[in-house]
Amino acid sequence: MKITPRVKRILDNYESDNPGTKANLARMLMQGRLAGTGKLVILPVDQGFEHGPARSFAVNPAAYDPHYHFQLAIDAGLSAYASVLGMIEAGAGTFAGQIPLILKVNSANSLSTNKDQAVHGSVKDALRLGCAAIGFTIYPGSEDQYGMFEEIRAMGEEAKANGLAVVIWSYPRGGKLPKSGELAIDVSAYAAHMAAMLGAHIIKVKLPSDHVEQEDAKKSYEGIDTSTQAKRVEHVVQSCFAGRRIVVFSGGAAKGADDVFQDARDIRDGGGNGSIIGRNTFQRSREDALAMLDKLVAIYKGAE
């Protein structure tokens, strides 16, 4: 498989990484129907851990089976599949070599009493399961944020030394931050920048609103156009080393297909690298999900 010039330019931005890590980034960028475009659509399935199995899968019972998701990601021609230890273990053998895997190594759950996550996977797990990357969530602003930063510091160092890529989910919450500020453009761009500073290869944030939360940041945003979603994506991408890092956005809660498509167009137009889209796929029937992902891929190819 020959790397395209666009992918080559992206890889060149990771100038301090070893060939192992670059090869794993390339595996994701050269996988599926978006191979070579510099765009990524990733299927994440950790919602069972975060919200419980029935809330995640009852609407589409086939999705209780871990194999379902591997197969969906492969058949839809996606770039990678991300899930947690047990779920990856349950399919990594059957689907070995068919799609790059991201081992999500920490999770929260809806019974929890604090703004933290439990680390339940390791770099060694990722290696023995043939994964291309580890995924880790940070909660900037949380009372536990520094602990989370120190966990990913250690795991990121180990991942990079072993030729894996590092994906950071950066979700501001907790501490002094009101619920209303979690999606604010200043907070989102800050969260994305922190993930970049922490050494992430791929940064995942939510699509931001045009609210500015921090008093001290208001003046700086006077000259920044955040009036459209595409402009806000552009600002987040700029905040990740002026585009030197891959930035993908989450689909959020299940919603109408048209909204999903519009989000993707905005991500594309703002220069984002793609989507991580879970509930909006596996909570539809396989047929509907494939149709939606087909269109999503087309959007990222610039065809819609």
Q: Which residues are catalytic?
A: 204
Within 71-90, the residues that bind a second copy by CB under 8 A are 84-90
Considering only the stretches 109-117, 263-271, 286-294, 296-304, report the one whose residues sit in contact with a second copy under the rule CB under 8 A: 109-117
| Dihedral, 24, 9, 230, 33 alpha carbons, nearest 10 | -50
Is residue 275 involved in binding a second copy (CB under 8 A)? Answer: no
Q: Determine contact, residues 51/110, Cβ cutoff 8 Å.
A: yes
Is residue 288 involved in binding a second copy (CB under 8 A)? Answer: no
Within 116-135, the residues that bind a second copy by CB under 8 A are 116-122, 124-125, 128-129
- How far apart CA 279 and CA 43 sit, in angstroms, is 9
Beta carbon nearer to a second copy, 158 or 298: 158
Report in angstroms how near the CB of residue 296 gets to a second copy at its nearest: 25
Is residue 255 involved in binding a second copy (CB under 8 A)? Answer: no
Binds a second copy by CB under 8 A, chosen from 20, 38, 52, 252: 52
**What residues contact residue 221 under an 8 Å CB cut-off, 6+ apart?**
185, 186, 212
Dihedral sign for Cα 118, 164, 51, 240, please: positive
Read out DSSP for 20-79? HHHHHHHHHHTSGGGTTTT-EEEEEE-HHHHH-HHHHHTTSGGGGSHHHHHHHHHHTT-S
Binding-residue pattern over the window 11 to 40 for a second copy, x denoting contact by CB under 8 A: --xxxxx-----------------------
Is residue 281 involved in binding a second copy (CB under 8 A)? Answer: no
Q: Determine contact, residues 234/224, Cβ cutoff 8 Å.
A: no
Give the pair of three-digit tokens for residue 75: 């058949």
Report in angstroms how near the CB of residue 70 gets to a second copy at its nearest: 11
Within 153-192, the residues that bind a second copy by CB under 8 A are 153, 157, 161, 172, 175-177, 186-187, 189-190
Is residue 54 involved in binding a second copy (CB under 8 A)? Answer: yes
